[in-house]
Structure 1
Amino acid sequence: MTSTARYKDKDARRGPVLQRQVVAFLSALIVGSSLHYRKIVQNEWYGFPDEWFPSVSATIGDRYPERSIFMIFIAITSGPRFALVGLWYLLTAKPGRTLPKAIAISGLVRTLTCGGWTYITSTDDHDWHDILMISYLVFTIPWTAGCIALSPPNAKAIKYRKYLAGGFFGTLVPLVYFFIQHKVHRVPGAYTTYAFFEWSLILLDVGFDAVTALDFDTFEVVVRDVKGATKGANTSSVPTAVLEKVKDKATAGIFSAGFRLGDALDIAADVYHGFVFWSILTSLGVVVWYFPLWHMGISGFEVLVMTTVAPAILGIKSVRFKILKNQRLTHLLSLTGLAAYLIEDPICRLFAVGFGVWMSCLGWAATLYSDSAQPARLETRVLAWVIGLLMSSVAKFAWHTNNPIWPIMHAANGGWNGTGLILAVLAVLRFTRRAPLQGGKPVEDKSGSALLSAFGIGGLFFGLHSLLSDTSTMILWVWDGYPIRGPVSNVHAWYTIAAMTAGVVVGVSRPALARTWTAYGVGCVGAAVLTLYHQWFGYYGALTLAAYLMAISIPLISSAAKKSPATTFGLGFLIYNFLVLFHVWVVAYAFVPGGPLVREHTDWVMITMMLLIGAGVFGLVSQRAKSAHKIADRRPVNTSHRKYHLAALGILNILFLCANFLRFPTNDYKPYHAEDRVFTAGIWTIHFSLDNDMWSSEYRMRDLIKEMEIDVIGLLESDLQRIIMGNRDTTQFLAEDLGMYVDYGPGPNKHTWGAALLSKFPILNSTHHLLPSPVGELAPAIHATLDVYGTPVDVFVFHSGQEEDPEDRRLQSEYLAKLMGSSPRPSILLSYLVTDPLKGNYNTYVSDVSGMHDVDATDDDRWCEYILFKGLRRTGYARVSRSTITDTELQVAKFHVPASEEERARTWTVPKELRDRRVQEDEVPAGWRFPGLFRGEGVRGHAYHVFNEPRYYNF
């Protein structure tokens, strides 16, 4: 005799969890609004009526009794939530499949973290509440994807899941946007809008889990006291095979095959090897740039940029045969570009990187060409190459725009070179474990034009490298100063990653759409908007262009792989090289013959890039139009690899968002000596953040700036957002690590070498100037107004023209003198003037027109760096040796900000002889003194020099 309990009432199963969770949240909302409305809508910046709807966190965690009511109801739902995870595992588990176990674990962790952020509120512990909330969202991604992948063949349930999951993750974008508007920009009412999206997430999340009831219609749980089993009642009259086809259609066939660890490792190795390719390629420009930088002109080493044309030698049959048969060796040799960090000598390191680039381009071209015989295998290679770029951008964001495996990185400045190299070797061994598909007599697609493909590859790779190899590049194109009216690199960069991800998905799932003239037209519009406009509108163009470049890369590279690699990739990379030089010459026209013909024509570069891509699209369209050659358009027969690539995209997005959370601005900016109303200002020419030994110098710069207790600093030669500088941004790391506001200055599309401002004080307003430069390179300037202890103080950061262009420097001195003279506020100039003290243009900068005074007119040893001031009480001046960081010293000055109107008025009229009276260090307050760390021999090669000690002034 047996006793059996069956649970079959689907209505009873469908409701309780959903109802109790909804009741938990809504009851807290009703009670909280009734008893503490004004308190729960109040946030750190605003209250009622600016904010009039409470957030979830404020509703469930701030007040009694709504907090207790919520916790009681949510506790009741905990059992059913765990049961849901367990029952879903029982429903989907099959022998030999590991995916159901993985999804069950993610569901379990997701449920535990849900309990964490609901019971540990932001009032209890803000950090842990955020950590658990983010963990919940992170584990929701595999849970959501897994539920869709493992869903029984129920088209209705799959449809609802897709809609609800799309709504959930789509809601995250405006959610983050309005949170930033509230937290960073302090926009009134933004938190109320954020709250609506937050509540929507709750409903969408609960709704997604509730859909499970549709799958449980045919599921029966039986409890017996003897051994027995049941498969449930299958009430459907539709054959299982038909239902499986319906499921495949609903999921686009991506989840039709099971999860295989070996396949997942293959895709992981492919993507990582793609990341290594982009890491080596993007490092070449940096190590080449080091040499003309130190030679102040053409060095001869620039010829190594041509190492990318290596695929051209595949036109030689004997060479092609050997390379195709020895792809593993070729790819292993390419890792020389990663191992280059072990070489101390800059010249040898450069040649190691050049050799790595040569072998990498050669190996990838050969692999793509070889695998073009099998569409699915070719698609995995192309996706690895493209997603590898996205991974490179993610890594650079996490390392503040430096790639951790570049040869300019090592352990001392945050590099992970050793780890990256070991993983690269393992990835190559896995990447090349399959035998080549084509050898001595490969089959080429003769239907399309190899020349047009080469044009397309050249334009495409330049666009991917110059615009998408770092998430902050296009953001800085549209940056135009304070107040902030556009995207910010450390807050909004994920939008670029999201656009790139969307482009990959479109390119692989809808290649026919990506290669249409309509899509090309949209991409051209995006390029034009990015080039011509600033702020958010310009960035919308950037996102459009990012999505298009990633989408078109799939069909364009796939088509090129089917033709002669010597033409498509050899010639393609040659065209890419000329574009790289073109986009350098628009700024560095003074260094190259004929340079003035292209000066300041980034628009020409963008037009050329899009025309080349258009040639590639024309080749694709023409090829498709020939009915005899439709093989080029055939979809891969096996698409099982796509789910792993989608997983890779999802993981990379998650990692980016985690890094984004860690880099989110803290708004904790404290000057060093606020109690004394003193601030230290400095000027430093940082030589593009490469030190004398070709290492990235951000860490060493950070240490000196921090130990010198600098509150405001101007950085010159700071624009690194070009291929030759690695598309970097030193100011991001310095600002976040030192707790400073940052104005990047004129962006990379303004054709200057860069000027940036870092400040411990809020930047109220800033404008960017390009000073008259009829002959030489453009001279950048920043005019910013800071809130210094409640007093508006103007700061000018300026880089003058070169010594060879005296007329430029004369015009610039007149322009800047008038600009400084137009300010009625206390002001300082942090500058690079290229003039002798007391001579020539010096007397224009220091004049009645500008109203500015020299920080120390007796210092006759200067030529480039100067600090000028007016309306402030100068208390000290010092010069600090650079060590091997750069070629220019750090100059600093201390200023006291008057506290009263009477004292402020007196600073404008004090006689020169009194203003310049020097005193001993012990005659000034302790808070006014420079750090004693750098006296004598100093530390790490930094010491007070020229005067051998700081100078102090008092009146």
Structure 2
Amino acid sequence: MAPKHKEGDVVATFSGRWISWAHTIAAYAAFIGALVVGMSLHYHKIVQNEYYGYPEEWFPSVSATIGDRYPERSVFMVFIAITSGPRFALVALWYVMTRKSGSSLAKFVAGVGVFRTLTCGGWTYVTSTDDHDWHDIFMISYLVATLPWTLGCLALSPRNATALKYRKIFAGAFFGTLVPLIYFFIQHKVHKVAGAYTTYSFFEWSLVLLDVAFDAVTVLDFESFEIVVKDVRGISRGNTKAVADAVLEKQKDKDIGRVFAGGFSWPDAIDAAADVYNGFVFWSMLTSLGLLVWYFPLWHMGISGYEVMVMCTVSPFLLGIKPLRFLIVRRVRICHLLSLSGLLAFLTKSPENRLFSAGFGVWMACLSWAATFYAERSQPHRLEARITAFSLGLLASSIAKFAFWTNNPIWPIMHAPNGGWNKVGLIIAILAIWRSTRYTASPGADVPAPGPNRGSPTLSGLGLAGLFFAMHSLLSDSSTMILWVWEGYPVRGPIAAPHGAYTLIVMGLGLVVGLLYPNLTRSWTLYGAGSIGAAVLTCYSHWFGYYGALTVAFYIMALTPVFISSAARNSPASTFGLGFLVYNVLVLAHVWVVAYAFVPGGPLMREHTDWVMTATMLLIGCGVFATNSLPVSPSNPKYRAKLGSINPAAQKQRSYYLYILLCLEALAIAIAYLRFPSYDYTPYHPEEKLVTAGIWTIHFSLDNDMWSSEHRMRDVIKELELDVVGLLESDLQRIIMGNRDTTQFLAEDLGMYVDYGPGPNKHTWGSALLSKFPILNSTHYLLPSPVGELAPAIHATLDMYGKLVDVFVFHSGQEEDPEDRRLQSEYLAKLMADSPRPSILLSYLVTKPLEGNYNTYVGAKSGMRDIDPSDWDRWCEYILYKGMKRTGYARVSRSTITDTEIQVGKFVVDVPEGSDEIISEDQVPVGQRFPALFRGQGVRGHQYHVFNEPRYFA
């Protein structure tokens, strides 16, 4: 018990030095955090001044770093706001320490300290853009007040030789730095010397560091202070309970009350975090496997043989061999470590070897996790911890993809050049496995689960198949189900950012309910609700369809604890082995609904996502039947204790996973905030009323060497100054393609509006539209395709410099289906002919110029003109137009990004159509010319080809 004082009970004490530490850490975090963020995101912009930029100036000033750019300004403001509390406390403690009877110096210095703190808030929150005059007034006042504060602190410094020495050093360095600071500022401002501002910046940053360091010396003085918090009315102890205590007392016999009771243990929290990270690694490897497999049929244009690697997940069948099962359970740490070959795969340049390495990793990961669940079955609270970590691993993987624009940073298709964090992820994975696999509940013997072991292992395995498939296909990316319900502009439903956070939050809520209320989760009532949600998601669009998606997300995550704990009671071969086998069948079926033209028996599955969803829910129903065969919440307290349901240690263990869940959800919300679209996009040449439009078939964003190609695509689109670009083969929201969406990264990085086109439940290879101009309306079409693959199209109306212009993005059927292509040409020609507005078609037509269907797309039927009728060397990509002046046309090689070139056209809005006469570049205004960067050898394998230069038209 705390000692008694006459005023009351001491309820908390802490050293005064923590005030100094808090002030120092928060202040440095404000400046250094802004510097790191600024140099990472806007390096060239923040080193730019009115005279010079990079490379003459290569280090930013303080004002440029913490000024008007987002998010570094926000980072600085948040931490400087946090600094204010310790700052006021520091000034108050300094006054208490230095005050003397009959002297007013301490009061004066304290007043100056408060004034400096307030003026710091002034120049922090009133930027030069907001009000330049007041910003300068606050800044100058702060600097002026620094002199009396520094001198006053030196005069009042207590008898502490070490503290006084450091104060003199920091104060002398501070005022000494002012001389070169002023000198180099004059060199920059008056004499305009290149590089002078960079040198000035170093001295400016030195002032900041020295200013904070001067106040940090108080940590040596405040060691003698002990701050005491006393309860003078007995509120904190005795008969009166705090609100939280009263709630916990009332809920003490309920799960939620027991979870958060007791103290906090860092080792236990680290154990939980290590478990969750292992789950994250599992889901990262599993979600990468299909993507690596897809590379081979993609480039072979048919079955390649490598598709057999999808069967890597069936390794739990090995656990049916008893001696082998004992060995794996005893050495599960080694198995988990071997699974990290999936993370090491990025070091392999050969696509084949990368696939084999990742496949072995998935094989070992499925084996390891099945063995882990089985080994823990005798201790339900430990089993629950592993299941929770497994589930939170999926959530963490989805959040990582939310942060990295649908790519997982530790996938084998990622590496440093395209934003991968592979090495960091691998190091943390090794440490996490070493920590979390120190021991298991079973030394290798078959220790049975407590209670009677009823229930069918076959039904349990089928339930796992439906569960794993639903988790992977619908929940492994927060934008997947959002794109299921997307129907174009105007926006009438959720968008990937920020609403992806809604999916992530509901996933977390579902898991909590599954942990705390297993009887509800296994009920047929909740199964019915989940089935209705799946039907709504499959059949409806916009917000209503998304409500079905949220229901599915909630239900699937809630099922995870009861399904896996039920499966662990039986042989892992008959549950997890069977589960992953049937899961693979669902994966193939879910690909065949769109790839029916390339697989044996494919037409049977054509466009039947509804069949796949129905099969998934029926399999989940098998799992519900299996779990209902088990005993539910026995009333005997001794039996419940064996199950771990009222074990205090088990409840405390659960709390750490819930803390991690809260952290993950907070991270998801923060990412949603950071990714919120700005909608302030500007075309490249508004003064010319110029529109640069392109068409590109991006081959599902995997380059020739099996690396994710978004960053390379971004660079060439930016350098070509494309205001509007159509992307084809862009629907990646399937297991086999990684559940990705390239358009999110491109749109946000390039500052463009995006229409994803027909969603993944529309069974196409995808078409998308990116635009610097507002998309006022867009309609998605599936053109007639009685035999071959579906042909997607987007018809969008854009506001181009105040004039409405229609843009069509279209991918026709394949060469083997001529009747499909004929019907599609007539359908699209009518769509374009019916448009009364100027129009641009960005397309993949599969026809020769001047022959066959070309004459349907171009001419009187459609009203459209070819951008260059003399270009005879085309087969797939075409740009057509009407009602606006076409000024230029270019063909740009794709390097190794994809298998198709980029075609680009330049148009001037609100100017009549011109002739087909080709003119020289010097007859074209400078603002309407193509970039010279791609002439000759070009850059990074991109150059003007076929004509070896752009063409311009009168």
TM-score w.r.t. the length of structure 1 is 0.75
Contact 1:248–1:254 (8 Å) recurs in 2: no
Map of 2:148 onto structure 1: none
* Alignment counterpart, residue 402 of structure 2, candidates 371, 382, 397: 397
Deviations 1:132-158 (A, max 9, x none): xxxxxxxxxxxxxxxxxxxxxxxxxxx
Q: Match for residue 749 of structure 1? A: 761
Q: 2: CA distance between counterparts of 1:264 and 1:756?
A: 44
Question: 1:807 offset after TM fit, Å?
Answer: 0.6
Unpaired segments of 5 or more residues in structure 1? Answer: 9-73, 87-112, 128-218, 223-229, 899-903
Counterpart for residue 722 of structure 1: 734
2:644 and 2:430 map into 1 onto residues whose CA distance is: 34
Partner of 1:320: 325
**1:654 has 2:653 as partner:** no
Amino acid at match of 1:492: H
CA contact (8 A) 1:519 1:548 kept: yes
SS in 2 for 1:622: coil
Matches within 5 A, 1:435-454: 435-443=440-448, 446-454=453-461
- State the shift of 1:411 in Å: 0.1
Q: CA deviation at 1:490?
A: 1.2
Task: Give the secondary structure class of the aligned counterpart of 2:796.
Answer: strand
1:429 alignment counterpart: 434
The answer to whether structure 1 residue 664 and structure 2 residue 665 are counterparts is no
Cα distance in 1 for partners of 2:130, 2:277 equals: 36
1:126 Cα deviation from its structure 2 partner: 8.5
One-letter code aligned to 1:6: E
Match of 1:587, SS state, is helix
Match status 1:705 vs 2:708 = no
The answer for the alignment partner of 1:813 in structure 2 is 825
AA matched with 2:467: L
Q: Which residue of 1 aligns with 2:939?
A: 939
Partner of 1:882: 894
Q: Which residue does 1:789 correspond to in 2?
A: 801
C-alpha deviation, 1:622, in angstroms: 2.2
Determine whether 1:358 maps to 2:363: yes
Structure 2 counterpart SS, 1:253: helix
User: By how many angstroms is 1:849 displaced?
Assistant: 1.3
Partner of 1:197: none
Give the C-alpha shift of residue 624 in structure 1: 3.1
C-alpha deviation, 1:441, in angstroms: 3.2
Structure 1 contact 855–867 (Cα < 8 Å) conserved: yes
- The answer to whether the 8 Å contact 2:379/2:643 transfers is no
Partner of 2:687: 675
Per the alignment, residue 253 of structure 1 pairs with 258
Q: Say which of 843, 866, 874 aligns to 1:831.
A: 843
Residue in structure 2 matched with residue 639 of structure 1 by the alignment:
651
Asked whether the equivalents of residues 766 and 783 of structure 1 are also in contact (C-alpha less than 8 Å), the reply is yes
SS of match in other structure, 1:941: coil
Find the counterpart in structure 2 of residue 922 from structure 1.
Answer: 922
SS in 2 for 1:586: helix
* Cα distance change, pair 233–362 in 1 and its aligned pair in 2 (3 A): closer
2:507 aligned residue: 500
Judging changes above 3 Å, is the alpha-carbon distance between structure 1 residues 82 and 259 closer, same or farther for their aligned structure 2 residues? farther
> Is this contact kept in 2: 1:330–1:363, CA < 8 A?
yes
Out of 269, 291, 313, the position equivalent to 2:274 is 269
Q: Structure 1 residue aligned with 2:605, among 598, 602, 622?
A: 598
Match of 1:856 among 868, 887, 910: 868
Residues 746 and 81 (structure 1), Cα distance of their counterparts in 2 relative to 1, 3 Å cut = farther
Do structure 1's residue 624 and structure 2's residue 624 form an aligned pair?
no
Decide whether the 8 Å contact of 1:688 with 1:718 is kept in 2: yes
| Partner secondary structure for residue 258 of structure 2 | coil
2:7 is aligned to 6
Partners of 1:234 and 1:257 lie apart in 2 by 17
Instruction: Determine if the alignment matches structure 1 residue 766 to structure 2 residue 778.
Output: yes
Question: What is the aligned partner in structure 1 of residue 424 from structure 2?
Answer: 419
1:895 to 894, 907, 917: 907
**Residue 609 of structure 1 pairs with residue 605 of structure 2:** no
Give the equivalent residue in structure 2 for 1:869.
881
Q: Select which of 696, 700, 715 maps to 1:684.
A: 696
On the 8 A contact 2:888/2:952 being kept in 1, the answer is yes
CA distance in 1 between counterparts of 2:646 and 2:431 reads 28
What is the RMSD of the two structures over their aligned residues, measured on CA atoms?
3.2
1:480 is matched with which residue: 475, 487, 492?
Answer: 487
Q: Is residue 879–residue 891 contact of structure 1 (8 Å, CA) maintained in 2?
A: yes
Quick one: structure 1 residues 471 and 79, their matched pair in 2 at CA, closer, same or farther if it must change by over 3 Å? closer
Deviation at 1:668, TM superposition (A): 2.2
How far has the Cα of 1:833 moved from its partner? 0.4
Partner amino acid, structure 1, of 2:295 = Y
Check conservation: 1:324, 1:436, Cα contact below 8 A. no
- 1:237 and 1:544 map into 2 onto residues whose CA distance is 42
Residue correspondence of structure 1 range 31-50 to structure 2 within 5 A: none
Structure 2: gaps spanning 5 or more residues:
10-80, 94-116, 132-228
Please give the alpha-carbon distance, in whole angstroms, between the structure 1 residues aligned to 2:387 and 2:124.
45
Superimposed CA distance per residue, residues 686-738 of structure 1 (whole angstroms, 9 cap, x where no aligned partner)? 00000000000000000000000000000000000000000000000000000
Tell me the distance in 1 between the aligned counterparts of 2:325 and 2:291: 30
Q: Deviations over 1:359-405 (max 9, x none)?
A: 00000000000011101100100000000000000000100000000
Q: For residues 818 and 491 of structure 1, what CA distance do their matches in structure 2 show?
A: 37
Write the letter of the residue equivalent to 1:236.
Answer: N
CA distance in 2, matches of 1:343, 1:253: 49
Task: Report the alpha carbon displacement of residue 561 of structure 1 after superposing the two structures with TM.
Answer: 1.3
Residue 526 (structure 2) aligns with: 519
Give the aligned partner of residue 541 of structure 1.
548
Q: What do the CA deviations read for 1:855-902 (whole angstroms, capped 9, x no partner)? A: 11111111100000000100000000010000000000000112xxxx
In the TM superposition, what is the alpha-carbon distance from 1:654 to its structure 2 partner? 1.6
Amino acid at match of 1:860: W
Question: In the superposition, relative to structure 1, how do residues 243 and 723 fare at CA in structure 2: closer, same or farther (>3 Å)?
Answer: closer
- Provide the C-alpha distance between the structure 1 equivalents of 2:298 and 2:798, rounded to a whole number of angstroms: 33
Matches within 5 A, 1:731-750: 731-750=743-762
Task: Name 1:586's counterpart in structure 2.
Answer: 593
**SS of equivalent residue, structure 2 residue 780:** strand
Matches of residues 5-154 of structure 1 in structure 2 within 5 Å? 6=7
Tell me which amino acid in the other structure corresponds to 2:951.
Answer: R
Tell me by how many angstroms 1:311 deviates: 0.1
Go from structure 1 to structure 2 and tell me whether the alpha carbon gap of 1:335 and 1:126 turns closer, same or farther (over 3 Å shift). Answer: farther
What is the Cα deviation at residue 626 of structure 1?
11
Residue in structure 1 matched with residue 291 of structure 2 by the alignment: 286
Question: How big is the shift at 1:6?
Answer: 2.9
Aligned to 2:222: none
Alpha-carbon shift at residue 443 of structure 1 (Å)? 2.1
| More deviation, 477-486/554-563 | 554-563
Paired position in structure 2 for 1:466: 473
In 2, Cα distance between equivalents of 1:519 and 1:388: 24
- CA pair 241-600 structure 1, distance change in 2 beyond 3 A: closer
Change (3 A) 1:690 1:329: same
- Cα deviation code 1:183-233 (max 9, x no counterpart): xxxxxxxxxxxxxxxxxxxxxxxxxxxxxxxxxxxx9546xxxxxxx9889
Q: CA deviation at 1:122?
A: 8.2
Secondary structure of 2:629's partner?
Answer: helix
Partner in structure 2 of residue 183 of structure 1: none
Aligned residues: 752
Residue 578 of structure 1 aligns to a residue whose secondary structure is helix
| Amino acid in structure 1 at the alignment position of 2:894 | R
Pick from 560, 574, 578 the counterpart of residue 553 of structure 1: 560
TM-score calculated relative to the size of structure 2: 0.75
Task: Tell me, yes or no, if structure 1 residue 575 matches structure 2 residue 582.
Answer: yes
Distance in 1, Cα, partners of 2:123 & 2:456: 64
Q: What is the deviation of 1:847? A: 2.0
Distance 1:753 1:439 in 2: 48
2:538 is matched with which residue? 531
